[in-house]
């Protein structure tokens, strides 16, 4: 039995295991414990074998009971978790906490519910870690159960849960977390705002944006640049409509990101909200748009004739020729009368000579 019993357990030979347990009284506790481990580590579904071995629960060491609890929580073996919790009072708090985290990761609602009935074994940090996992998974039933379980979950865990829920676009969980206003800092909301500005989840972005007026200008500026680069029109519009504390240089960066990605709608919004900034730095955008061949942006900038330095227009035309952007060259030729003091044809000749 010492040699064959663990192997039979891992292979799932139910009848043989039952026979040995019934007729051989010399199978030691360590062999039973090893058989239990082998049964769980096997790729086979050995639930019947595990249930038989658990009947020897009094003979199994605390170490292997903890191992069994965690693995039963992962695999969703509700009956085994219930039996372990009922029959063994010496399971460590560490193992119960680990089982809670694993059950949450695998969305095992019934097992999470059972584990929470051992409150003396569940710490605030255990609940906090599980809350973060539930937020990441978007598991609303488990999230609600954990969220209501204790009032001493740390603000750090709430902040991390908010970030995970935001990254994975779980609107309802973000909404519930924001209801715990005293546990959510402006910096956490700012970080979440930056993350969602990349993904374009406007409903979550809007909820975060209006949550606190204390979100730093730095965080809002980063969100603006992300949104401009990704072409998220509503986000850019909301930021520029409501925040006047964003630096000119950050707005220029947003303008250039939008130009590089050919987001003409974003450039229109920036023009509408910050005309004086765009007028001052439109030359840089023109140069970038000409180089990349974004003809709609080039035409937009030339038609609106903002007061960019004439040198930028000359250089932009040259870059378009050198980079073979024929559509941009045609726009310069068509609109050359709108650019005073620049002989467009001469600059085209100069650019071709350079080639």
Q: What per-residue confidence (pLDDT) applies to 30? A: 66
Farthest-apart Cα atoms in the chain, separation:
106
The tokens describing 103, both together, are 């059950």
Contacts with 157 (C-beta within 8 Å, 6 or more apart), sequence order: 125, 127, 128, 129, 131, 132
Count of CB atoms within 10 A of residue 6's CB?
Answer: 20
The three-state (H, E, C) secondary structure of 8-51, written as one string: HHHHCCHHHHHHHHHHCCCCCHHHHHHHHHHHHHCCCCCHHHHH
Nearest Cα neighbor of 115 from 136, 94, 134, 133 is 94
Angstrom distance (rounded) from CA 275 to CA 110: 58
Mean pLDDT of successive 10-residue stretches along the chain, which has 355 residues: 44 51 56 68 59 64 81 86 82 92 96 90 92 97 92 91 95 94 90 94 95 92 97 97 93 95 95 81 86 91 66 77 83 64 50 48
Q: What per-residue confidence (pLDDT) applies to 159? A: 94
Q: What per-residue confidence (pLDDT) applies to 23? A: 46
Q: What per-residue confidence (pLDDT) applies to 113? A: 95
Nearest Cα neighbor of 339 from 275, 278, 286, 285 is 286
Q: What per-residue confidence (pLDDT) applies to 72? A: 86
Q: What per-residue confidence (pLDDT) applies to 354? A: 47
The tokens describing 328, both together, are 């941009």
- The conformational region for residue 108 under phi > 0 = left, psi -120 to 50 = alpha, else beta, is beta
**CA 142, 50, 60, 84 torsion-angle sign:** positive
Burial 60-99 (b: 16+ CB within 10 A, else e): beeebbbbbbbbbbbbbbbebbebbbeebeebeeebbbbb
DSSP string, 194-244: HHHHHHT-HHHHHHHHTT-TTS-HHHHHHHHHHHHHHT-HHHHHHHHHH--
Angstrom distance (rounded) from CA 296 to CA 302: 10
């Amino acid at each position: 039995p010492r040699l064959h019993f663990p192997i039979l357990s891992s292979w799932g030979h139910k009848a043989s295991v039952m026979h040995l347990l019934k007729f051989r009284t010399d199978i030691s506790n360590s062999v039973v414990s090893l058989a239990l481990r082998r049964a769980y580590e096997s790729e086979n579904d050995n639930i019947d074998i595990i249930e038989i071995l658990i009947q020897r629960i009094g003979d199994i060491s605390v170490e292997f009971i903890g191992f069994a609890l965690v693995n039963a929580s992962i695999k969703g073996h509700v009956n085994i978790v219930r039996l372990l919790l009922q029959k063994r009072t010496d399971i460590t708090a560490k193992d119960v906490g680990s089982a809670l985290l694993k059950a949450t990761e695998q969305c095992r609602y019934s097992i999470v519910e059972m584990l929470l009935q051992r409150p003396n074994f569940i710490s605030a940090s255990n609940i906090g870690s599980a809350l973060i996992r539930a937020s990441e998974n978007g598991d609303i039933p488990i999230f609600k159960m954990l969220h209501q379980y204790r009032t001493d979950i740390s603000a750090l865990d709430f902040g991390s849960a908010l970030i995970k829920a935001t990254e994975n676009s779980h609107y309802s969980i973000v909404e519930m977390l924001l209801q715990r206003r005293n546990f959510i800092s402006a910096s956490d909301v700012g970080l979440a705002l930056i993350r969602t500005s990349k993904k374009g989840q406007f409903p979550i972005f809007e909820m975060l944006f209006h949550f606190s007026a204390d979100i730093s200008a730095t965080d809002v500026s980063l969100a603006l640049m992300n949104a401009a680069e990704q072409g998220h029109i509503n986000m850019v519009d909301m930021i520029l409509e409501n925040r006047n504390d964003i630096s000119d240089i950050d707005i220029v960066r947003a303008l250039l990101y939008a130009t590089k990605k050919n987001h003409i709608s974003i450039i229109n919004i920036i023009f509408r909200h910050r005309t004086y900034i765009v007028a001052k730095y439109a030359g840089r955008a023109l140069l970038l748009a000409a180089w990349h061949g974004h003809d709609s942006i080039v035409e937009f900038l030339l038609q609106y004739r903002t007061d960019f330095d004439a040198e930028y227009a000359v250089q932009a035309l040259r870059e378009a020729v050198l980079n073979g952007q024929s559509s941009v060259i045609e726009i310069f030729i068509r609109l050359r009368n709108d650019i005073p003091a620049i002989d467009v044809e001469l600059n085209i000749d100069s650019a071709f000579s350079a080639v």
